[in-house]
Amino acid sequence: MTRYILRRILLAILLLVLVSALSYFLFTVLPDADPAQLGAGQQSPTFLGYMKEIFLHFNFGYSYRYHQSVLSLIVDRLPATLSLIVGAGLLSVALSIPVGVITATRRGQRFDRIAMGTALGIVSMPVFWLGLILLYLFASDIGKIPILPGANSYAGLTADPGQWFKSLILPWLMLGATAAAIYSSLLRTRMLEVMGEDYVLSARAKGVPEPRVIWRHGAGAAIPAVVPVLGLEIGGLIGAVVLTEVVFRINGVGLLSYEAIHHSDFPTVQGTVLFVTMLLVIVRLIVDIVYAYLDPRVSFA
């Protein structure tokens, strides 16, 4: 197991180095008309110097628009982004597991058709469009049923916990709905396969209660198969955070990246890209290790 974890860590480090090199090429070598460097008469850093600053000093550069280091900008806005990702992730898991299991055990029935049809519709929607629909329906300022805070309503968790929770309900729904639709469909498919296995049929023949057969033997074997997909979808979730923060005007890393692109703030764009990449690599590493523990068929060799 130790060798497996070390190998995954080495691969993660290699991926970070490759992404950093690509980032240097895109944001330092190609754009030789950086307004900050031209205005100050500065030269682009060397590749080795750039890599040293990133990996040894965690120096992502200096934003000439905000007049402070990019790392401090990211740290200031990170809590809002993490609140979105964690909340949407928990919501998607909480919705997808019961929906996936119930639809598998009621295949072809009304609930199954409604749930899978709804899942297909949600997956087909652009994320930003779903967010605009939620604002149009439920936002307190422009909604037809004004029951929840809309855009520009986010407050920090430490500043106002109640407002923090209420202001994130619609963004969580926007982010978590698509992921929940994907997970529930995959879990349903896997559950249908598992429920036909010999050990499940044997448990039923022995008189094991049906709820125990479904949740322990069926869902217990089907859920680990969805874990790798969760790791893949985390990337999509983080990408959708940018759209969510723009739609709801949440002052997070995604909105920071969007504004930096809009104002050609190359150091900030570069820093946010590298930081998000690091976050993705860490999450994928954790998912790989968890999946290895959950599924004994995974080889540690």
Give the domain CATH number at 90. 1.10.3720.10
Residue percentage of the chain with pLDDT more than 90: 19
> Structurally, how many domains does the chain consist of?
1
290 domain residue, yes or no = no
Residue 86 has pLDDT above 80, yes or no: yes
Report which listed range, 5-9, 30-34, 118-122, 291-295, is most confident. 118-122
**pLDDT grade, residue 33 (50/70/90)?**
very low
181 domain residue, yes or no = yes
Region label for 108, one of left (φ > 0), alpha (ψ between -120 and 50) or beta (otherwise): left
**Cα–Cα distances in Å, from 73 out to 26, 216, 242?**
21, 46, 16
Burial class (CB within 10 angstroms; exposed 0-12, middle 13-18, buried 19+) of 105: buried
Residue 41 has pLDDT above 50, yes or no: no
104 domain residue, yes or no = yes
pLDDT of residue 52: 81
Q: What are phi and psi of 270, to 5 degrees?
A: -60, -45
Give the integer Cα–Cα distance in Å for 11 and 29: 26
Between 43-57, 69-83, 173-187, the lowest mean confidence (pLDDT) is in 43-57
- How long, in residues, is the chain? 301
Over the chain, what is the mean pLDDT? Answer: 83
pLDDT of residue 199: 86
226 domain residue, yes or no = yes
278-301: average pLDDT = 72
47 domain residue, yes or no = no
84-107: average pLDDT = 90
111 domain residue, yes or no = yes
Range of the domain at 179: 77-250
Residue 38 has pLDDT above 50, yes or no: no
94-100: average pLDDT = 90
135-148: average pLDDT = 89
**pLDDT grade, residue 31 (50/70/90)?**
low
66-71: average pLDDT = 88
**pLDDT grade, residue 267 (50/70/90)?**
confident
pLDDT of residue 164: 92
Tokens of 263: 């104002």
274 domain residue, yes or no = no
124-150: average pLDDT = 89
Residue 289 has pLDDT above 50, yes or no: yes
259 domain residue, yes or no = no
CB atoms closer than 10 angstroms to residue 282: 12
**pLDDT grade, residue 296 (50/70/90)?**
low
